[in-house]
Structure 1
Amino acid sequence: MAKQYTKEMIQEKFIEMLNERPLNKITVKDIAEICEINRNTFYYYYTDVYALLSEIFQTELQTVIDEYSDTLSWEESFIVAAKFALENKRAIYHVYNSMRREDVVNYIYNVSGNVMSRYVERVSDGILASSEDKRLIVSFYQCALTEMVVRWIASGMKEHPDTIIRRVGELFDGNIELSLKRSEKLNKN
């Protein structure tokens, strides 16, 4: 119980610090001081600040997977998944503008992939699309969503992503189902 509390406190304080300053300005010593623990306690849980960052992204991804609702559209699911980024815009911006940019990009890529995989599986129910085509559709939307979010972060996260994601959803409404049906037709030929 105490171990879990300590880990959660380290993660929480680290995120707070990331919302205040760039990643390269945060040290293990800083984290230990703000958590009122010694450095050895930090090292008991994490090898360094980057391992801590990686675990936070993994935990957030697992939260998205656990909380995903099959009744949500991909747009709603993606907006729910973006909750962490919206609540911690400055932290995401600080990590993105550090040497650990790939951690942010990988997190977004994994979230996008998870959301789209589940959505494509749900929409394909009753459609005999090939598994290769399903993977291709998921990959296409995963890459598109990832790049859109990365561009949004790079531009300073000024617009609210709900507006953009909902608009993309309206513009491309039905395309995934149509693509799955095309796959089914192509497989019959």
Structure 2
Amino acid sequence: MVQQYTKEMIREVFINMLNERPLDKITVKDIAKACNINRNTFYYHYTDIYALLSEIFQTELQRVIGEYNDTLSWEESFLLATKFALENQKAIYHIYNSMQREQLENYIYNVSGNVMIRYVEKVNDGISASLGDKKLIAFFYQCALTEMILHWIASGMKGDPNNIIRRIGQLFDGNIRLSLKRSADLNDIWQKSDMRFFSY
């Protein structure tokens, strides 16, 4: 119980610091002092600051997986999934401009993928698109969302991503279902032509 409390305190202090200054300006000594613990206590839980950052991203990803609600649209699901990034924009910007950018990119990519794969599966209910096409559709949106968010971060996080995501949802409304239906139709055509081939 005490160890869990200490880890949560370290995490909270670290995120608060990231919202105030660049990652390379934060030391273990700074975190330990703010938490009123010694550095050995920090190292008991984490090998270094980068391990702490990695755990934060893993924890947030698990939260996204655990909180997914299949009654939501993909836009609502994505905004819920990126809640951590939206609430800690300065911290995310500082990570993006550090040597740990790859961890951030992987986090956004994995969050986007988790949301889209689940949403595509939900929409596919009763359509019977092929497994390969479902993966392809989810992958397409995963890449698009990831690049869009990374571009937003790189441009200084100007504008409200909530509005952008919702607008994309309005512009592309129904496209995922339509793509899945096309997959099912193409499969039917292929199977029929394949049967004709083997009937000779």
Match of 1:188?
188
TM-score, normalising length from structure 1? 0.98
Q: Per-residue deviation at 1:94? A: 0.2
Aligned residue-pair number: 189
Q: Per-residue deviation at 1:24? A: 0.6
Give the AA of the match of 2:99: M
Q: Per-residue deviation at 1:113? A: 0.4
Larger radius of gyration: 2
Q: Per-residue deviation at 1:171? A: 0.8
4+ runs deviating over 6 angstroms: none
Matched, 1:34 2:49: no
Match of 1:13?
13
Identity of aligned residues (%): 75
Q: Per-residue deviation at 1:3? A: 0.6
Q: How does 1:148-159 map to 2 (within 5 A)?
A: 148-159=148-159
Match of 1:83?
83
Matches of 2:131 and 2:28, distance apart in 1: 45
Matches of 1:138 and 1:44, distance apart in 2: 40
Matched, 1:126 2:123: no
Q: Per-residue deviation at 1:31? A: 0.9
Q: Per-residue deviation at 1:25? A: 0.6
Matches of 1:182 and 1:47, distance apart in 2: 50
Cα displacement string for residues 140-170 of structure 1 (whole angstroms, at most 9, x for unaligned residues): 0000000000000001111111100001001
Matches of 1:158 and 1:173, distance apart in 2: 25
Matches of 1:183 and 1:113, distance apart in 2: 20
Q: Per-residue deviation at 1:61? A: 0.9
Give the AA of the match of 1:145: L
Q: How does 1:38-117 map to 2 (within 5 A)?
A: 38-117=38-117
Computed over aligned residues only, the root mean square deviation of the Cα atoms, in angstroms, reads 0.7
TM-score, normalising length from structure 2? 0.93
Q: Per-residue deviation at 1:64? A: 1.0
Matches of 1:46 and 1:185, distance apart in 2: 52
